Amino acid sequence: MVDILHRVGIKSSVGQVYEALTTRAGLAAWWTRNTQGEGQKGGSIAFRFSAAGVEIGGFDMRVLEAVPAQHVLWQVTDGPEEWIGTRIRFDLKQSGAHAIVLFQHQGWKAPVEFMHHCSTKWAVYLMSLKSLLETGKGTPNPDDPHISGDGAD
């Protein structure tokens, strides 16, 4: 099992970051505009991505844990085969004026090339989360920076 790890510090409160991780409006403003569902514990969230106006896939998550200002844990229930069963965890802590986000995408079966891609792409989306909270504007899909040469990603 291998994990994707990231860390960003955001000039914000952990409460505000938690809101961006657990509300439809918050998630839609940094990860993907096409977000549906319920981000509280026990909820399910459907994230869908598009390129040139065409939907290209996405992920369904079950919210296993959501503790205000502390952490959020999702389990991937549908999406690319490599993602199914993996877990995505955000741990939050306040450090002075900054909310520190420790991110883990846990439980990949193998360090395949797609995992390399997703690691870089998660960093880009976490920078979008940071931008959203610090400037009021994120870059959720379909406005996300492209990182690969394979079309929409």
Q: Which is nearer to its own copies, 23 or 153 (CB)?
A: 153
Q: Which is nearer to its own copies, 127 or 132 (CB)?
A: 127
Min dist CB 65 to its own copies, Å, is 19
Residue 27 · residue 81 · CB < 8 Å: no
DSSP string, 21-63: HHSHHHHHTTTBSEEEE--STT-EEEEEEEETTEEEEEEEEEE
Q: How far apart are CA 106 and CA 109, in angstroms?
A: 9
* Least Cβ distance, residue 69 to its own copies (angstroms): 16
Kindly list the residues in this chain that would bind its own copies in the complex (CB under 8 A).
Answer: 2-11, 95-98, 100, 102-104, 111, 113, 115-117, 119-120, 123-124, 126-127, 130, 145, 147-150
Name the minimum Å distance from CB 42 to its own copies: 28
